[in-house]
Each structure stands twice: as C-alpha cells, then as structure tokens.
A and B are shown apart, each in its own frame.
Chain A
Amino acid sequence: MVKETFIFRECERYLKKLHNRYSTEGIWIVKKYGRRYSFVCGIRPSGFESPEIVKINDGYLLFFQKGEDLHDNLDNVILKLKELLDENRKG
C-alpha cells in the first residue's frame, strides 16, 4: 500500500509535468476493471473533447484531453509510465 501510494505520487508528478508542457485539458491514469475505469492519479479532466485513450499495460490506461503535441512524444511517455507502474507491480 505504501509502495503503491509512492509510485502513484511519482506518476502524478510526471503527469503534472506533461500537463504543463503540452497544455492538456486533463491527463490521468485509470485502472480498468471490466467495464469500470477507476481513477488512479493525474490531472482531472476539464474540457469537453472526448479524451484520447492509450494503453499503458494490461491493467492501466492513459487518458488525455487536448495536448496535440503529446503525440510526438507518446511512445516515450508510455514507456516511462510503464516503467513506473511495473515498479509498482514488482512490489
């Protein structure tokens, strides 16, 4: 639990950076449970565009609104988030 909280804080810090750099209207990570997508961490949505959804790994997805330039760096972003979340899995 403590480890998980630490990792999610790290993720949140990273998402904040992305939010500022790419001027998103929200960028957040969710964990997928069946039909349910539970909020994990990040900058909550504020716009009305449908968010883009990118798979990070089997359980987690990245949602973001706007921030078009983020696409240029998306592979690296996903890789970084994957690393952070994998740390969490290792416990």
Chain B
Amino acid sequence: MSENLKSWVANRIKEDEIVKYMDDDSDFIKDDEIWKHIKDDKQQDPVRIREIFEKALAVETLSPEETAMLINLKNPELVEEMKETALKIKLKVYDNRIVTFAPLYLGDYCVNNCAYCGFRTSNTIMKRKILSEDEIRRETEVLAGKIGHKRLIVVYGEHPLTGVDYIENSLRTIYGVKVPVRKGFGHIRRANVNAAPLQIDELKRLQEVGIGTFQVFQETYHHETHRKVHPEGTLKGDYKWRLYCMHRALEAGVDDVGIGALYGLYDWRFETMALLYHAIELEKKFGIGPHTVSFPRLEPAANTPFTQSSEYMVNDEDFERIILVLRLAIPYTGMILTARESREIRDKVLPLGITQTDASTRIGIGAYSDRYTEQELERQQFMIGDPRSLDELIRDLTKMGYITSFCTAGYRCGRTGKCIMDLLREGTEGKYCKLNAITTFKEWLLDFASEETAKIGDALIKKELDEVKTKMPKAYNKLNEYITRIENGERDLYF
C-alpha cells in the first residue's frame, strides 16, 4: 500500500463519531444476550405466538424475546399463519406494489481485504476500474433511457478514488441525465447509495446533493466473526465505525437509512436478531428505524474460496424463515430481495413481504453500456442468479398480481424519516404507495413496455383503478386526472 493510501486510511475513522453514541463501554449488539434469547426456546404456546402476530399486524416493532420465538417456531400450522401474517403486514403497510431498482457499480477499487469479497485488495485477478463522469452518464442513459429505471442503488468501494468527492460528483451526474423516450423522458429520480461508512460532514454533503437512502451493511454483526473475516488494521475491520454509521447519517440529516447483513458469514438466527437490535437502537436514539433491510446470501466470487466453504451457508428453507421473521419483527421497514437469488426463489419468497427488487441487473463495472452481455466474474463482486430483464420481471409480477412501482414520491414531498415511519405504521403510506404505483407503472408502460407487457399491464391498471374507486373514492378523481395527463405526455405526477 502506498504512503498516500496509508495516510488516507489512517484518517478515515473518527473515534469521537463513534463514542458519542455509545451508552457504555460496549456497543448495542450484545452477543451473549442474543444467543440467550435464541437458545431460550420457550414452550411455543399458540396463544402467545398469535399475540405476537397481532402485535406485528399492528405494525409494532417486536421485542428480541418475541423475535426469537418466531425464529424457533416449529408448529407447521403456526408457521403457515406466520406466512399469512407476513403478507397481511406487507399489504397493510405497502399494498400490493413492488418497487424496482437497478444496482449501479461505479468502481471496484477497495482498500479492504474481506475474506468473502471478490473486490478485496489482495484479489489480483480482478479487472479494476472506476467509471469516469462520461461513463457514468452513459450507464445512466441506458438505465433511465433504454430500460426505464427511475431508482438506482449506486455502489462504491472503499477507496480514496471513490471517496466522498467522487460520490458527490457521480450523484450530480446521475441526476443530470435526462433522455427522450417514446412518449416522455427518462431520468433517475432517486439515487440511493451503498458505500463505506462516512463521516458526519461527508454525509451532510451527500444530503445536500439529494441522496436517497444511505445503505451500509454490517455484513456480520457477530463480533468474533467480524474480526475473522475483516483483517485487523483494515477500515472494515473496525466493527464500531461501521456499526454506528447510521447514527452519523441520521445526525447529518440523512433520514432514510438502510441496514443489512450478508447471510452465510455467521449463524442466520444471530444475524436476524442483530438486525432487529440495530432497528431498535435507531428507533430509541432517533425515533427513526431503518427505511430498508437487506438480507443478501453469500454468492460465489472470483478467486474467493471462502464463498464456497463457509459453514454458515443459508439453505432455502432458512432463507424463507429469515424473510418471514424480519417482516414481522420490523413491520414498517422496506425489504429488499435482489437478483443474487434465482428466479425460482424470488418468485417463492416475494409473497412473504418483499417490497423492493431489482431487474435487468448487471453488476460489472460499466456493464450496462458496455458490449459484453455475459457475466464475467473478474469484473463483478459476485454472480447474479436471476438475469430477467425489467420487462420480463414486470410481466411476471403482473401475472402474480403485483403492480410494479417506480415511485419516488416520498422523499420529494417531505415524507421521510419520522414522518414516513409514522405514515407506514398507521397504514396511510400504503395508500400513497398504491396511487403512485399506478401512475408510475402507467408511465413505464407507455415509455418502455413490450407489446405483451403493455397489454397485461394495462389490464392490471384497469383493475387497480376499479379498486381505488371503491376503497379510496376521495383519491379516485385525482388519480384519473393524473392518468389522462400521463397519457397526454406529462410525467412525474405524484401523490
């Protein structure tokens, strides 16, 4: 590592931006306490379990004890009821819409050396690249102008070349792209960021440029495992710097934050409990829980044997349980299922409470505008499992009764942070979700859909309009007006 790089690394972590949030000498992830909850396998009284279901249905965050009971739930009849409850919660909080997005990887340079990651600094077979401003523009033109995405999760490695200056400039570039399409224009309306932990002043800069959600995954919350997979002396090796980055984001005013764990590094039951602990901590300190929770499973990566040998790989049955438990434990949160998973798994677990997913996904650096179409492991962090295009995914979702949403309304009219949390809990946001799903879906059908998808999409919109007429008569006229205006070429109308 060069002297410049060493010096950059040495100045990243600000101890005072960790310690100020700590209640005592230890952080809020209490490993022993979590294991005690999991192992304290109480007799599963159906009455008590159903009380927990009711609590979750009232959109109240569950306690660790209650969550552990759901993790350990064995009674098949109650497990079925848990699935029904998960779907009810999803419909109450978010209605039947699924928000779609695309990941956009801007660089694969990284100073860290994580055992499970293809981007790790010691992985010499990786073809390293960082996109220039022109290349970012070209990627965005494809995403917004050809595929029709409105929402991105922009992904950055931890490296001075992709530090806060680069992040800030790239967001400006992305937001600046506007591409003529069939009837309207394509542009990115919300750019979420998945990056390394940042300092408070840096987060304020991202707030100024209009960041969507700030997402950082702890990867593993288990202290000892964290030490094992993130070498000492690396930035990512500092557990607390990473753990408290959402505290810093919320203090900086970035009031939509996304948390996550990489399943497969440690026991799934522990990670699921720890995600709940993280949500409870944020609720307690800021009155705002996570806007989204992610639960990716470890996938093969180039020259990374760890991804094949971990003893904690999560099977499909346990993966289902993870989703179910999270849906009930943190009922207000958005839940992201990505194209890492196969089509079969995605179709199977969607009804368990998923709210967001990606499509037409490419995770190679520059892969959207580049000529190559096959996955190349040396150019990407891991392998993706579901290569469906956005058009195909939308068609499949429509057949399953879901309306695809490109809504980005919330953060453009102040429904963020505590406000959106309360609206989600009381079920009001779900109504906005439904209406904005219909308007944005209509836009997409007009501007991007294949003939086949447009046909079944329009049929779904008709059905949704009828539902709104019955269930939300006050909103119906306005919605109809918006649909007519959209058909006449107007765009970006929202509730």
Q: Contact residues of A with B, CB < 8 Å?
A: 28-31, 33-40, 44-51, 61, 63
The 23 listed contacts between A and B (C-beta, < 8 Å) are: A30-B413, A31-B253, A33-B207, A33-B208, A33-B210, A34-B210, A35-B189, A36-B210, A37-B413, A37-B414, A37-B416, A38-B207, A38-B253, A38-B255, A38-B414, A44-B423, A44-B428, A45-B413, A47-B474, A48-B435, A48-B472, A48-B474, A50-B495
Main secondary structure of the interface of A (DSSP, over half): strand
Give chain B interface residues in 381-417, CB to chain A under 8 Å: 411-417
Give chain B interface residues in 451-485, CB to chain A under 8 Å: 472, 474-475, 478-479
B10 close to A (CB within 8 Å): no
Known contacts A48-B474, A63-B414; is A36 also within 8 Å of B207 by CB?
Answer: yes
Evaluate contact between A39 and B210: CB separation under 8 angstroms: no
Evaluate contact between B474 and A39: CB separation under 8 angstroms: no
B212 close to A (CB within 8 Å): yes
Residues of A within 8 A of B474 (CB): 47-48
Query: Which of the residues A39, A45, A51 comes within 8 Å of B417, measured between beta carbons?
Result: A39
B419 close to A (CB within 8 Å): yes
Number of residues on chain B facing chain A (CB within 8 A): 32
Query: Which of the residues A35, A37, A39, A49 comes within 8 Å of B418, measured between beta carbons?
Result: A39
A44 to B212, CA, bound (A): 20
- Quick one: closest B residue to A35, CB to CB? B210
Q: Contact residues of B with A, CB < 8 Å?
A: 175, 189-190, 207-212, 253, 255, 411-420, 422-423, 428, 431, 435, 472, 474-475, 478-479, 495
Evaluate contact between B255 and A34: CB separation under 8 angstroms: no
Known contacts A33-B207, A48-B478; is A39 also within 8 Å of B412 by CB?
Answer: no
Known contacts A31-B253, A48-B474, A48-B475; is A36 also within 8 Å of B212 by CB?
Answer: yes
Evaluate contact between B416 and A38: CB separation under 8 angstroms: yes
Evaluate contact between B413 and A33: CB separation under 8 angstroms: no
Residues of B within 8 A of A45 (CB): 413, 415, 423, 428
Known contacts A33-B207, A48-B472; is A39 also within 8 Å of B416 by CB?
Answer: yes
A46 to B426, CA, bound (A): 11
Evaluate contact between B472 and A39: CB separation under 8 angstroms: no
A30 to B435, CA, bound (A): 22
Query: Which of the residues A36, A44, A61 comes within 8 Å of B419, measured between beta carbons?
Result: A44
